[in-house]
Chains A and B, each alone.
Chain A
Amino acid sequence: MLDTISKDARNYQILSLFLFLVLGIGTRDWTLKPELIVVIFATCLSTQILMSWLVNINTLQTPLSKSIKNQIWKGLPSAVITALGLCLLLRAGSYSTMIMAGFGAIASKFIFRIGDKHWFNPANFGIIVALLFTPDAWVSPGQWGDEVWYALVFVALGGMVLKRVGRWDTTFAFFTSYAGLELIRNLYLGWSWDVLGHRLMSGSLLLFAMFMVTDPRSIPNARNARLIWAVAIACLTFILRNFFFMPEAVFYALFALSPLTIVLDYLYKAPRFTWFKVQMPKPVILS
Chain B
Amino acid sequence: MKPIHLIFSLILSLLIAFAFNPIAWAFCGFYVSKADAKLYNNASQVVIARDGDRTILTMANDFQGDVKDFAIVVPVPTILKKDQVRIGDAKIIERLDAFSAPRLVEYFDSDPCAPQYVMESRMPSEAARSNTATDAQKSRRGNLGVTIEEKFTVGEYDILILSAKESGGLETWLIQNGYRLPAGASQVLQAYIRQNMKFFVAKVNLEELAKNETQFLRPLMMAFESRKFMLPIRLGMLNAKGDQDLLVYILTPKGQAEVSNYRMVSIPTDAEIPVFVKDEFAGFYKSMFQTAHRREDRRVAFLEYAWDMGSCDPCSAEPLSPEELTKAGVFWLNSPVSSPFNNSIRRSAVPSRGGVFITRIHIRYNRDKFPEDLMFQETSNQRQFQGRYIMRHAFKGEAKCEAGQAYRKSLPKRFEKEAQTLAQLTDWKISDIRRRLPVVEVQKNPIQQFWNNIWR
Contact of B261 among A31, A142, A192, A255 (CB under 8 A): A142
Nearest Cβ in chain B — how far from A104, in angstroms? Answer: 14
Residues of A within 8 A of B375 (CB): 245, 247
Within 8 A of A (CB), among B337-378: 342-344, 346, 368, 371-372, 375, 377
- Which residues of B have CB within 8 Å of A257? 13
Q: A28-B263, A256-B13 are in contact. Are A114 and B342 (CB under 8 A)?
A: no
With contacts A147-B297, A244-B227 taken as known, whether A142 is within 8 angstroms of B263 at the C-beta atoms is yes
What's the A-B contact tally at a CB cutoff of 8 Å?
A: 118
Q: Which residues of A contact B6 (CB under 8 A)?
A: 259, 262
A190 touches B190 (CB 8 A): yes
Residues on the A chain within 8 Å of B10, using CB: 259
Closest chain-A Cβ to B291's Cβ sits at a distance in Å of 16
Report the minimal beta-carbon distance from A125 to chain B, rounded to whole angstroms. Answer: 10
The yes or no answer to A208 lying at the interface (CB within 8 A) is no
Q: Is A145 a contact of B22 with CB atoms below 8 Å?
A: no
Q: A138 contacts which of B9, B259, B372, B381 (Cβ < 8 Å)?
A: B381
Are B264 and A29 in contact, with the CB atoms below 8 A?
yes
A132: CB under 8 A from chain B?
A: yes
Report if B138 contacts A (CB, 8 A): no
Is there contact, CB below 8 Å, between B13 and A247? Answer: no
How far is B266's CA from A117's CA once the two chains are assembled, in angstroms?
43
**Across the interface, do A133 and B344 meet the contact criterion of CB distance under 8 Å?**
yes
Interface contact B381-A31, CB-CB below 8 Å: yes
- Does A69 interact with chain B (Cβ within 8 Å)? no
State the CA gap A80–B187 with chains docked (Å).
49
A145 close to B299 (CB less than 8 A): yes
Chain A contacts of B435 at CB under 8 A? none
Q: Does B148 contact A (CB under 8 A)?
A: no
A247 touches B377 (CB 8 A): yes
A133, A135, A144, A259: the one within 8 Å of B263 (CB): A144
For A112, give its contact among B5, B16, B229, B300 (CB under 8 Å).
B5
Once bound together, how far apart are the Cα atoms of A226 and B258, in whole Å?
34
A243–B22 CB distance below 8 A: yes
B132 near A: Cβ within 8 Å? no
- Residue A258 CB within 8 A of the other chain: yes
Assess whether A135 is in contact with B343, with CB atoms less than 8 Å apart.
yes
B289 close to A (CB within 8 Å):
no
Say if the beta carbon of A140 comes within 8 Å of chain B: yes
Known: A28-B263, A142-B259, A245-B22. A132 touches B346 (CB 8 A): yes
Selected from A29, A133, A135, A137, the residue in CB contact (under 8 A) with B265 is A29
Interface string of B275-312 (1 = CB under 8 A from A): 00000000000000000000001011000000000000
Report if A142-B372 is in contact (Cβ < 8 Å); known contacts: A147-B297, A252-B16. Answer: no
Decide if A245 touches B13 in the complex (CB within 8 Å): no
B13→A142 contact, CB < 8 A: no
Q: Is B262 an interface residue (CB 8 A)?
A: yes
B424 at the interface (CB under 8 A from A): no
A112 to chain B, nearest CB (A): 6
Q: Which of A29, A145, A194 interacts with B262 by CB under 8 Å?
A: A145
A211 to B24: give the CA distance in the assembly, Å: 32
| Chain A neighbourhood of B22, CB < 8 A | 243-245
Asked whether, in the complex, the Cβ of B260 is within 8 Å of the Cβ of A198, the reply is no
Q: Which residues of B contact A143 (CB under 8 A)?
A: 263
Contact A132 B343 (CB under 8 A): yes
Tell me, yes or no, whether A280 is within 8 Å of chain B by CB. Answer: no
Which B residues are CB-close (under 8 A) to A256? 9, 12-13, 16-17
Q: Knowing A188-B194, A190-B191, A262-B6 touch, does A140 contact B258 (C-beta < 8 A)? A: yes
CA distance A191 to B235 in the complex (A): 12
Nearest A residue to B377, CB-CB: A247
Q: Which of A243-286 touch B at CB < 8 Å?
A: 243-247, 252, 255-259, 262
Instruction: Please tell me if B228 contacts chain A, counting CB pairs below 8 Å.
Output: yes
Is B382 interfacial (CB-CB < 8 Å)? yes
Question: A137: which of B13, B24, B263, B380 is its contact (CB, 8 Å)?
Answer: B380
Does B9 contact A245, Cβ atoms closer than 8 Å?
no
Does B20 have its Cβ within 8 Å of any Cβ on chain A? yes
Specify which chain B residues have a CB less than 8 angstroms from the CB of A243 in the assembled complex: 22
Query: Which of B191, B255, B263, B368 neighbours the largest number of chain A CB atoms within 10 Å of its CB?
Result: B263
Chain B neighbourhood of A252, CB < 8 A? 16
In angstroms, how far is the closest chain A Cβ from the Cβ of B84?
A: 20
Q: Are B191 and A140 in contact (CB under 8 A)?
A: no
For B38, the chain A residues whose CB sits under 8 A away are none
Contacts of B410 in A (CB 8 A): none
Distance between Cα atoms of A147 and B380 in the complex (Å): 27
Task: Please determine whether A197 and B381 come into contact, CB atoms closer than 8 angstroms.
Answer: no
Q: Using Cβ atoms and an 8 Å threshold, which residues of chain B touch A131?
A: 343, 346
The minimal Cβ–Cβ distance linking B252 to chain A, given in whole angstroms, is 12
CA distance A195 to B383 in the complex (A): 31
CB B418 to nearest CB in A, in angstroms, measures: 24
Chain A residue at minimal CB-CB distance from B300: A145
CB contacts under 8 Å to A, within B8-60, are 9-10, 12-13, 16-17, 20, 22, 24
Chain B residues with CB under 8 A of A147: 297, 299
Q: Does A215 contact B (CB under 8 A)?
A: no
Tell yes or no: B64 within 8 A of A by CB: no
Contact B344 A138 (CB under 8 A): no
In the assembled complex, the CB of B168 is this many whole angstroms from the nearest CB of chain A, namely 12
Cross-chain contact A245 with B297 (CB below 8 angstroms): no
Residues of A with C-beta under 8 A to B212: none
- Is B130 an interface residue, CB under 8 A from the partner? no
Q: Identify 13 new A-B residue pairs, CB closer than 8 A, beyond the known A142-B259, A191-B191.
A: A91-B381, A93-B255, A112-B5, A135-B342, A146-B262, A189-B194, A245-B22, A247-B260, A247-B375, A255-B16, A256-B13, A256-B16, A259-B13
User: Which residues of B are in contact with A by a Cβ distance under 8 Å?
Assistant: 2, 5-6, 9-10, 12-13, 16-17, 20, 22, 24, 187, 190-191, 194-195, 227-230, 254-255, 258-266, 297, 299-300, 342-344, 346, 368, 371-372, 375, 377, 379-383
Enumerate the 10 nearest inter-chain pairs by beta-carbon distance, A residue then B residue, closest first.
Answer: A256-B13, A145-B263, A138-B379, A194-B371, A247-B260, A136-B380, A189-B191, A259-B9, A247-B377, A29-B265
**9 A-B pairs whose Cβ atoms sit less than 8 Å apart in the complex:** A93-B381, A132-B343, A133-B344, A135-B343, A138-B379, A141-B261, A142-B259, A245-B230, A246-B20
